[in-house]
């Protein structure tokens, strides 16, 4: 689990800096997916807080979509 903690810290620091927010949102996305799946599987009652954080993360990704478009265009 230390790897997940390191990724969370790095992603959080990147999100906190406006210039690197787009990268931080992408770095933290797989961790957020894992948290959502964990709560859906083992503790559905505790899903509210991770869902809010996932929505905020998706908002940061959508807000910075112009930085990602050049990577997915053929």
pTM above 0.75, yes or no: yes
Q: What is the mean pLDDT of each run of 10 residues along the chain (74 residues)?
A: 91 93 93 94 93 94 88 76
- Is the Cα torsion angle 66, 70, 9, 7 positive or negative in sign? positive
Burial, 28: exposed, middle or buried (Cβ in 10 Å; 0-12, 13-18, 19+)? buried
């Amino acid at each position: 689990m230390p790897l997940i903690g390191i990724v969370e810290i790095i992603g959080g620091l990147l999100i906190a800096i406006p210039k690197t927010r787009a990268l931080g949102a992408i770095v933290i996305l797989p961790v957020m997916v894992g948290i959502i799946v964990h709560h859906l599987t083992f503790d559905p009652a505790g899903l509210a807080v991770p869902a809010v954080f996932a929505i905020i993360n998706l908002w940061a990704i959508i807000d910075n979509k112009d930085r990602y478009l050049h990577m997915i265009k053929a």
